[in-house]
Structure 1
Amino acid sequence: MDTTLHRKAQAGRAEHQARAMSLAKALRLTLAKVAEDKFEMSMAALSLRNQTCPGEKIDQHLSETDLLMLFDGPGGRRAAVMMDPALVGALIQQQTMGKVLAVNDSADRPMTPTDAAIAAPFLDALLQRAAPVPEDPDDQKLISGFRFGAWVEDARVLAMSLDAPDYQLIHIDVDISGGIRQGRIMMCMPLGQEVESAAKPGDSPAEDKPDLDPPQRVTLSETVMKLTVDLRISLAKMRMPLRDLGKLAVGDVLDLGAADFSKVRVQTLAGRAIGRGTLGQLDGVRAVQVAATSDVTQNLQRRASDRDHMNLPDISGPAAEADEPHGMPDLPELPDLPDLTGGEGEGATAPADSLPDLPDLPDMSDLPDFDEAPDLPELPELNVG
């Protein structure tokens, strides 16, 4: 029943909601303040709308032409932020030239890590300042604690990095420098992913527990070492004509030759060999023990100063005359040559009877006579001098 009391309550609720600080209002106000404080530029939110999207359909809202960034949040949550090239270009122009120019359609280019480094401080400040402003605790938790994590080149990779069951998409249309440009921002914030430890019966209050050490920042080397790399183990290599390959059937046996489980090749998926190892079992599953390889034979060091790094023996001085396994090999003795000086002073030649006999020339009577050759024309006389 629509009573007077109900109408007064509805009017009071509407008035409270108009004065209350919602998430949309908090982002709208904070956007203008951050743009003025950080970049000294005029920026205003034209419109702001929210929508909920399932995690498996998040790729449908990602654009390849926009700047794609991954944000890290508390509890291992991940969020994504997209910024269109018009807004990215405005931030770059304001920082480099001190003013924003109109959009040039011919200046479209792919986004780079440099663009992400310029946009990251603006987005970090926007989320940090806007997080405590909304009155609803759920709105505060939605954007609290998120900071720039990494630039992502491909939309498919970004969609694979977002593993929350549901996301809230926040679309912000932005006016830049009083209408010179217009851009957009889209935030993909995870819903219901923060894990909080539940208090068990008998546990002491939180204030009685000692303070835990603050989480340490993960270094780049630790992140790289945790990356997954797919490799291929090759036991043997063989060649087979295509016609024979097409005739293979179930039960056919291939001769692998001298295949050895202790000399398997470790290869990339493209087939490039990167090492060797031993194939075996560990805890009931197949495993490969990778052998340490040396690149000395592949990268020869030709400088004398690099000899210590190659563990090569020094073959200069007395060591060259020693009979060492790594020394110079013995050269065969050369035969003595006959004396061709004749002993009659410098420049003298050996007598004809001391030279070895030359073999007789073969019969060349079948060669044409030079008298039958055509006469050559006389050359003109040349005056020299």
Structure 2
Amino acid sequence: MKRYLNILLLILIFILSSSLKMHSVPTSKKITLNSYAAVVIDQNSGRILYSKNSDIRLPMASTTKIMTTIVALEKGNLNDKVIISKKAASIGGSNVGLIAGEKISLEELLYGLMLRSGNDAAIAIAEHIGGNVDNFLKMMNEKAIEIGAFNTSFKTPHGLDADGHYTTAEDLAKITAYAMKNEIFNKIVSTKEISSGISGKFNRSYSNINKFLYRVENADGVKTGYTGGAGKCLVASVRHDYGRYICVVLNSSDRWKDAEELVKYAKENYKFIKLYNKGDEIKSLRVFGGKSRYIISLTENDVFIPIKSEEAQYIRTEAFVPSVIFSPIKKGDVLGNLVIYYDGNIIAKYPVVSDRDVDRKNLINTITDTFKSITIK
């Protein structure tokens, strides 16, 4: 009850402050884009702040390499040494100039992939991580399903046009929001120039071809793309006080301007309100088979939600957490979700986590507990 009262108080304060300073709270404005499809989301909440044809399946060119990179980071080691195959060295399109038989670190390949959009690096990475390209594509598609990008299909690790190779602006935003939580991924895509890394001095120096990094304050990624079938594409990330805006622009005649317009729209039309603090208690859960009988589910981080001023009174939250759970449990394990609704529709989800470790009972624990219960009676 105290939690709901605090939320209502925050919303009331937000409404009152908005009415007292109405001149400083912009209303929703129309936005003109040059792209066929686009979306901007808040990274942490996942809320879509603006969309245009964002659920239509489209080719995505080299923005494909976002998934190539995150799979490689999760499956490989930056210090791995990769021997470049003839297949990788001979791939067409943009490349970093890899030579068959050359030995190069996985780390350098990833910088070549994301800063220079190297198709040769994409093939080399796929062969190294998957054993062959087909196996790596399976990993990419499995990861897409895991992230929740259900309208995405990868047929290449580099993004050159291919039948059945597609995504949607929304799916690509989800994939990017996930990837940007990886510190190494974030470091790679935000880098402007580099010639050495944790694996040592690189074989080459790399400068980033993503002009968005140089055009917009607080931009920290992510990837450009272009093919004849996909047109000019861009996935952009911009940091703000409560996280990041993730923008996706597909098939645009002016991708830089479109991404800037999306960020501007998000900033002008949405304000962030805080619903929960990190570590707030959400629900108590019964534990079966554990040394502790109960655990508490907590918010993993501060919960900020982007809303328009007129939406505040229609925001509500609901916890989807089981009543019982089986041991063992580790502190920080995700137990469920805190779901945010606007006007009855889900607009965001935040994980809730365990407040403690709970080990599984062994035979001695079980006998001891049984003896105690008999003694008490």
TM exceeding 0.5: no
**Structure with the bigger percentage of strand:** 2
Q: Which has the larger radius of gyration?
A: 1
- TM-score, normalising length: structure 1: 0.21
- TM-score, normalising length: structure 2: 0.22
Bigger relative CO (Cα 8 Å, ≥ 6 apart): 2
**Structure with the bigger percentage of helix:** 2
